[in-house]
Amino acid sequence: MSAAVQAKAASRLLLSGNEAIARGVWEAGCKVAAAYPGTPSTEILENVALYPDLYAEWSVNEKVSMEVAIGASMSGARAFCAMKHVGMNVASDAFMTQTLAGVVGGLVVAVADDVGLSSSQNEQDSRFWGRFAHVPVLEPADSQEAYDMVKLAFDLSEEFNTPVIMRLTTRVCHVKAMVTVGERDPRAISGFKLDAKRWVMTPANAKGMLPKQMEREGKLRAAAEISPLNVIDDGSDRRIGFVTSGPAFMHLKESFPEAPVLKLGFTYPVPVEKIRAFQASVGTLVVAEETEPLIENELKAAGLTNVHGKDILPRLGELTPNILIPAIFGFRGETPPPATTYPKIDPFPRPPTMCPACPHMGVYYTLSRLRKRVQISGDIGCYTLGAGHPWNALDSTISMGASMGIALGMDKARSEETKDKAVVAVIGDSTFLHMGMQGLLDIVYNKGNVTALILDNRTTGMTGGQNHAGTGKALDGGEAPRVDFVKLVEALGVKPERVRKVNPYQLPVLFKAIREEIEQHEPSVIITDQPCVLSEFYEKFKPYKVVDQDCTGCGNCINVGCPAITVSRSESKTRPDGKVNELKFTTIDTAMCTGCHMCVESCGPKAIVPAVPVLVQ
């Protein structure tokens, strides 16, 4: 059991922002919490699920998690959902309507922006959603504020009859700080009350709510002006005053400890008059915000002059001291102090790769052998690594579930050069359930000539191995119904004879299945069925080794891509025809090897054998 779950009121704990939010959600009397895993927000729901007296679930995608939370709020319970920034794009359909209808129980949405793109395909500023949806946005700077603000967010939601967004960033989510916690405030659930004018969002009903939404935003604007979340941290060097929010505040105080800073925790609606008054007390106003110039532009639109921001500071990445100090010193026409220097060390190159025995490796090894014959659209997950060395077997990765639609587009837009190439879509099991099913249905409905590879490794691997509807396990680890992917794709219209389930460790079988299916001129699906090596479902086998005197240096095993296989020595050999072959003799790290057998399948001279002799009974 987590120490945070067991901690009594007034305890001080070292918590990440994600852990702190989970504790705050529980203390606020939340009854229902839902999410789809996505870095940097994943650990919020993992920790929420540890607390008693509430329901928590992994939803199949962010839209469903939002709808679950909305349904709970409509029923009078406090509700919470969490997602990363791109997940909010998925959830926005339901969210944008609910901002008109409002809430009964408090509804808080935590959206974690990956500022600096640590693990995302884009860098998105979720503060836009506050403006777009006319709802308040709160931004914590550290774990204590994350804990405090999520509790305040529930109160704010109920006071103003609105969903509330908590905009987090990777730094807040993952960095640990001391947090003083309290106790749970149990809340009664009033139950769902019939109110068709409010909950049945036909155009006529929705239109009547627009004036109320505008009135609410005016009240929120007034509340932001006096909110205790917007505070001035004063300083003696008043040449420049900063307006900032989130972890950028910490970086500013480290960089310019004597400068006055207006720290915004309630960042939308923007407290323009409070900022105007602050500006009058300093020489120049600089808005330091990650990442878009939202506050800066709104201040200029409100008539404030001598306001600087993105003319000095970058629009991408974090505003860390190494960015802030030279930028502000340069703006003031001063030479920045010398930066701390460290010995220059060229780190050993470690390109991202898959784990030893990852079942995805066999798929990409096979696709690489068919590379000239196929176009391959990919998706979001561990298998995105198939675009790299040694496979180079992925042509696109755009968004969750996009492999299906993009494959169909490739099929329907064939050129003279690609008319004879097969189109393959690669997608993981969790991603397929998240947003890929509709794409496959579209391929079937529109008679696409596409082969879909569903890589079922029985986990949500990229975000740390969370359960989903295809694992047979729920968020709490308990037993749950498990989706049958074969039946599912058949239900989506794929002909039974065009659906295959194969073991990706059996490379000849896999190669034969892919080669045969890409020659069909109708939708087909190949499902791989081996679990992630880091999951509870994986069974490790005995490791292998290379018999050095039998190895010919062909390098086939290297092309499988397993990090347990390394080159021990290289040789150049000139053939009779004068062509030079580069031979790569290999070895296997038996401590890493899990005995998946893929390298054995690739080895022509049979130089790879069990490292531990098999006892004959």
Chain segment 123-133, per-residue pLDDT in tens = 899 999 999 99
What is the model's pLDDT at position 311? 96
Edge to edge, the sheet with strand 32-35 lists 55-58, 32-35, 79-84, 107-113, 164-169, 137-138, 266-268
Q: Show the tokens assigned to 352.
A: 């991202």
Q: Token pair of 602, please?
A: 């690739």
Model confidence pLDDT, tens digit, residues 403-431: 999 999 999 999 988 989 999 999 999 99
| 495 token code pair | 């002909």
Q: Please give the pLDDT value at position 62.
A: 96
Q: Tens digit of pLDDT for each residue in 440-467?
A: 999 999 999 999 999 999 999 889 889 9
CB-based contacts of 21, cutoff 8 Å, min separation 6? 44, 82, 110, 146, 147, 150, 166, 168
CB atoms inside a 10 Å sphere around CB 521? 9
Terminal alpha carbon distance of the chain: 45
Q: Please report the pLDDT score of residue 118 as a whole number.
A: 83
* Average pLDDT across the chain, whole number: 93
Q: pLDDT band at 58, cuts 50/70/90?
A: very high
pLDDT computed for residue 339 by the predictor: 76
Looking up tokens 């970086």 gives 251
Mean pLDDT of 71-87: 96
Residue 578 has pLDDT above 80, yes or no: no
DSSP letters along 42-83, please?
Answer: HHHHHHHTTSSSSEEEE-SSHHHHHHHHHHHHHTT--EEEEE
Is there a cis peptide before residue 390, judged by omega within 30 degrees of 0?
A: yes
Lowest-confidence pick of 266-280, 298-312, 332-346? 332-346
pLDDT at 1 exceeding the cut of 70: no
Please tell me the least confidently modeled range out of 66-70, 141-145, 571-575: 571-575
**Locus of tokens 């239109």:** 207
pLDDT band at 613 (very low <50, low <70, confident <90, very high): low
| Region 173-191 average pLDDT | 95
What mean pLDDT comes out for the span 526-554? Answer: 92
How confident is the model at residue 576, as a pLDDT? Answer: 80
Q: Does residue 617 surpass a pLDDT of 70?
A: no
Written as six digits, the tokens of 178 are 């001391």
In whole angstroms, what is the distance from residue 36 CA to residue 69 CA? 12
Rounded to whole angstroms, the Cα distance separating 482 from 406 reads 28
Q: How far apart are CA 281 and CA 278, in angstroms?
A: 5
Cβ-contact 361, 560 below 8 angstroms: yes
Query: Are β-strands 565-574 and 580-588 bridged in parallel, bridged antiparallel, or unpaired?
Result: antiparallel
Residues 197-215, mean pLDDT to the nearest whole number: 93
pLDDT at 38: 92
Query: What Å distances lie between residue 421 and 427, 448, 518, 526, CA to CA?
Result: 19, 13, 9, 18
Is pLDDT above 90 for 612? no
Mean pLDDT of 159-184: 97
Q: What angle do CA 228, 244, 216 make, to 5 degrees?
A: 50
Average pLDDT over residues 90-101: 95
Band (488; pLDDT cuts 50, 70, 90):
very high
Query: Is the pLDDT assigned to residue 614 strictly greater than 70?
Result: no
pLDDT-derived band at 98 (thresholds 50, 70, 90) equals: very high
553 vs 368: CA distance, rounded Å: 19
Nearest of 310, 268, 322 to residue 286 by alpha carbon: 310
Structure-block tokens of residue 157: 């939601």
| Whole-number pLDDT of residue 572 | 87
Give CA–CA dist 110/85, Å, rounded.
9
Is the CA virtual torsion 201, 203, 205, 209 positive or negative?
positive
| Mean pLDDT of the region 33-40 | 95
In a 3-state reduction of DSSP, which class is residue 171? helix
State the CB neighbour count (10 A cutoff) for residue 605. 12
Question: By mean pLDDT, which of 216-230, 242-256, 404-418, 561-575 is the weakest?
Answer: 561-575
Tokens (6 digits) for 355? 């784990």
Task: Note the pLDDT tens digit of each residue in 187-196.
Answer: 999 999 999 9
Helices (H) and strands (E) in the chain, counts: 22, 23
In the beta sheet, which residues pair with residue 286? 242, 308
Distance CA 427, CA 440 (A): 11
CA-to-CA dists, residue 459 to 289, 353, 474, angstroms: 36, 18, 11
Where is average pLDDT lowest: 19-23, 158-162, 570-574?
570-574
Percent share of the chain, pLDDT over 90: 86
The Cα 180–Cα 359 span in angstroms is: 44
DSSP label at 435? I
The lowest-confidence range among 29-38, 206-215, 339-348, 381-390 is 339-348
CA distance 478 to 491: 27
